[in-house]
């Protein structure tokens, strides 16, 4: 057992993480698990078991049957390939997602599949070598395993740095650290095969991902924060006889529009992971200033007078003031500023005829321009105390007519292009709130 102490120690650590992860995920049912991490965690346990087994069998060749040794090596080598491949897929998942092009998917999977087949075919050609500290194995299956590990580590690092903006700012340093240590340990193992540090590389990447991205307790805190923001915003909305569906729908439209812009390559430097996350948390707060508007005006069934409309319009400036006073002490200054901009400027118009500052075109923050399209569309597509909901065709026509006047032309183009998705979101929330 002397030769597999490291593997046993790493296995204990990963088993502890797995137990805590699945137990907490079961307890905190509202947190979403990333299936790719589930697969990575289970496969890592499998690899550590067979890593320890091969470390033992290779040093007891006189008592361990050759077939047992070969099977253990085959399962370990193919399992290691799977772990590295899943790390690569996980990085894809937490950044921009999988490529939609089928040809790209084939190119990404082909080296992995061919390597596994090659390892199976050549497992009988294992070479056993005696080292200073421990024996170790080489041969075609081992060489190709090292090669594919190197290839996918390189691709993983390239993908990560190319999609740098899709990782939360406060997580980037940690992700770089565990990917670097994972890579360095794997490379050291390739150069010095006697080291048998594979288990350490696997454990480091599991611990790094768990602590930085997949800890259910951390996700629970984030979920509670989002629920509190949504609940407070919905409470404000209900003052004007709204069911709260407006908050949910506009947030979904904002998310759809922002991600579609990023997907098409527009505002890529602005629409980072942090920016979109902050925007989704800020969107429900866009009408928070209505808390200062009297009920008689909010719930008036007829047309507002000029004086009443002036009071109604004050909710934009008032919303920004409330956010500055309420969230001014938050450490996350980016989120506070985003919420302020969404609340204050979501009634500004592309041609400068909006309020409260009469900002024009690019002077209007992008988050507020996105919010404006979503807010107007939902306002006309839902029933209000002073009118019925408009037909869908008319709602989209209003957005089209606002092109270059009320809204940025690019946002109008993209919003109209995703009409089917917008209608699905509208119907899904409306059904829940009715």
Q: Active-site residue numbers?
A: 290
Q: Give the whole-angstrom CA distance, residue 430 versus residue 281.
A: 21
CB 18 within 8 A of CB 215: no
Tokens (6 digits) for 32: 């979403």
Evaluated on CA atoms 412, 418, 423, 425, the torsion sign reads: negative
CA distance to 35, 168, 339, 345, per residue, from 367 (Å): 31, 18, 9, 9
Burial 18-27 (b: 16+ CB within 10 A, else e): beebeeebee
Q: Which of 366, 329, 332 is nearest to 348 (CA)?
A: 366
- Residue 128 φ/ψ, nearest 5 degrees: -100, 125
Q: Which of 123, 162, 160, 163 is nearest to 141 (CA)?
A: 123
Q: What spatial distance separates the first Cα and last Cα of the chain, rounded to whole Å?
A: 65
Q: Give the whole-angstrom CA distance, residue 261 versus residue 253.
A: 12
Longest dimension (CA), the chain: 96
DSSP 286-337: TTGGGGGS-HHHHT-SSPPPHHHHHHHHHHHHHHHHHHHHHHTT-S-HHHHH
CB 257 within 8 A of CB 374: yes
Helix boundaries (H) for 136-197: 140-162, 172-191
Tokens (6 digits) for 398: 């209003």
């Amino acid at each position: 057992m002397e030769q597999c102490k490291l593997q046993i120690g790493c296995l204990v650590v990963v088993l502890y993480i797995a137990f805590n992860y699945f137990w907490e995920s079961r307890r905190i049912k509202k947190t979403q698990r990333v299936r790719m991490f589930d697969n990575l965690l289970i496969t890592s346990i499998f690899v550590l078991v067979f890593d320890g087994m091969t470390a033992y069998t290779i040093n007891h060749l006189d008592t361990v049957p050759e077939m047992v040794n070969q099977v253990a090596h085959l399962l370990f080598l193919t399992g290691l390939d799977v772990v590295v491949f899943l790390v690569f897929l996980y990085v894809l998942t937490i950044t921009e997602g999988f490529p939609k092009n089928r040809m790209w998917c084939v190119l990404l999977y082909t080296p992995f599949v061919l390597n596994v087949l090659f390892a199976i075919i050549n497992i009988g050609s294992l070479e056993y070598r005696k080292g200073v500290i421990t024996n170790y194995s080489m041969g075609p299956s081992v060489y190709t395993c090292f090669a594919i590990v190197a290839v996918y580590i390189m691709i993983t690092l390239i993908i990560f740095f190319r999609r740098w903006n899709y990782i939360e700012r406060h997580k980037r340093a940690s992700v770089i650290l565990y990917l670097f240590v994972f890579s360095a340990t794997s490379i050291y193992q390739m150069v010095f095969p006697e080291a048998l540090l594979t288990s350490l590389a696997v454990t480091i990447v599991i611990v790094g991902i768990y602590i930085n991205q997949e800890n259910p307790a951390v996700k629970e805190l984030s979920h509670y924060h989002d629920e509190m923001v949504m609940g407070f915003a919905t409470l404000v909305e209900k003052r004007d006889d709204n069911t709260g569906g407006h908050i949910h729908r506009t947030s979904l439209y904002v998310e759809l529009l922002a991600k579609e812009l990023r997907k098409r390559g527009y505002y890529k430097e602005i629409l980072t992971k942090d920016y979109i996350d902050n925007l989704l948390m800020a969107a429900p707060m866009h009408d928070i200033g209505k808390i200062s508007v009297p009920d008689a005006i909010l719930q008036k069934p007829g047309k507002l007078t000029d004086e009443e409309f002036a009071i109604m319009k004050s909710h934009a400036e008032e919303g920004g003031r409330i956010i500055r006073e309420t969230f001014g002490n938050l450490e996350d200054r980016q989120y506070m500023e985003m919420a302020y901009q969404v609340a204050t400027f979501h009634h500004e118009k592309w041609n400068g005829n909006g309020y409260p500052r009469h900002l024009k075109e690019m002077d209007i923050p992008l988050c507020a321009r996105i919010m404006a399209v979503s807010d107007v569309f939902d306002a006309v597509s839902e029933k209000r105390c002073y009118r019925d909901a408009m037909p869908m065709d008319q709602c989209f026509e209003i957005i089209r007519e606002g092109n270059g006047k009320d809204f940025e032309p690019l946002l109008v183009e993209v919003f109209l292009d995703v009409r089917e998705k917008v209608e699905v979101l509208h119907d899904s929330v409306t059904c829940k709130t009715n």
